[in-house]
A = this chain, B = another copy of it.
């Protein structure tokens, strides 16, 4: 059965990027340094998981910043929930990119149908929170980096209600504590 996963590198104080640049900047580089560390086995494991996704649900900002990963994510289709019309590139140039105007539940249902038995990777903090609120996020993979950034964008801002998680597993390396959670319903 397809599982939807949010995979994020996060500081101990909960930040996933600096204020200005959701995907990069000095803080972004610090957060993702673990993936370049000599812990090749750990990095390789997560790279394989990212590469094996059967579909992507991406926030519009992330999708546009990444130019829709050139039209697919390692060949996997990309679903972008958005109430606004898709940008021209997504409308005409990218047959595997689908803008979904009727909500996150619909986007996730389409992504899971496309993914078959494979996982759906969720890209972007905002869309991940909407998926969590809508009850369509199944797992959260946090790479908790031993740093306090002091400010920036938090992955989890205010949620409408308490969400219980279950720890599925922990991989402990000097560069990051990798914790996998299942969302309880």
Interface positions of A (Cβ within 8 A of B): 12-14, 27, 30, 132, 140, 142, 144, 146-151, 154-156, 158-167, 170, 172-174, 177, 179, 181
Contacts and interface: CB of A to CB of B under 8 A. Distances in A.
Contacts of A140: 12
B167 A174 contact: yes
A163 B148 CA distance: 5
A163 B14 CA distance: 13
* Chain A, interface SS category: mixed
Nearest to A155: B13
Contacts of A151: 158-159
Contact of A12 (B150, B172, B173, B181): B181
B148 A156 contact: yes
A173 B179 CA distance: 11
A80 B173 CA distance: 36
29 contacts: A12-B142, A12-B165, A13-B14, A13-B154, A14-B14, A14-B154, A27-B162, A30-B162, A144-B144, A144-B179, A146-B165, A146-B166, A147-B165, A148-B156, A148-B162, A148-B163, A149-B162, A150-B156, A150-B158, A150-B159, A150-B160, A150-B161, A150-B162, A151-B159, A167-B172, A167-B174, A167-B177, A170-B170, A170-B172
